Structure 1
């Protein structure tokens, strides 16, 4: 659901010219505004963080089960 302009906060941001140029090029390629591109990239990074956390928890659970199975405690 898109936010209304009055529901969003303004942010002043310092960014180096090379990174800004990359963001602008990417925004153009993806048909987004600069704000839309930055927001999209932030959202994607949060999704990756969430996925990494989920994978780590699953890996821990699998490790516990494998260790238990190797010890013969898998009942």
Structure 2
């Protein structure tokens, strides 16, 4: 299992109650399943609307179970932003 950091932004940060936390997972899907288990409720709802960056690269429409995570990597959880 790869170990790294999940970073939450904006509404995801508020729902998680933390700015970041560690992950231990092989795929983005596994990491998000663990996040939902640790933070049931509002964060699980917010995650449905989020986009994700893995080590700075957008996940886009790829299936989360197909996105491999690297040792020491970073998952950025980005809710929709307004304004500009």
TM over 0.5: no
**TM-score, normalising length: structure 2:** 0.22
Which structure has the highest strand share of the two?
A: 2
Q: Which has the larger radius of gyration?
A: 1
Which structure has the highest helix share of the two?
A: 1
For CA contacts below 8 A with separation 6 or more, give which structure has more relative contact order. Answer: 2
**TM-score, normalising length: structure 1:** 0.23
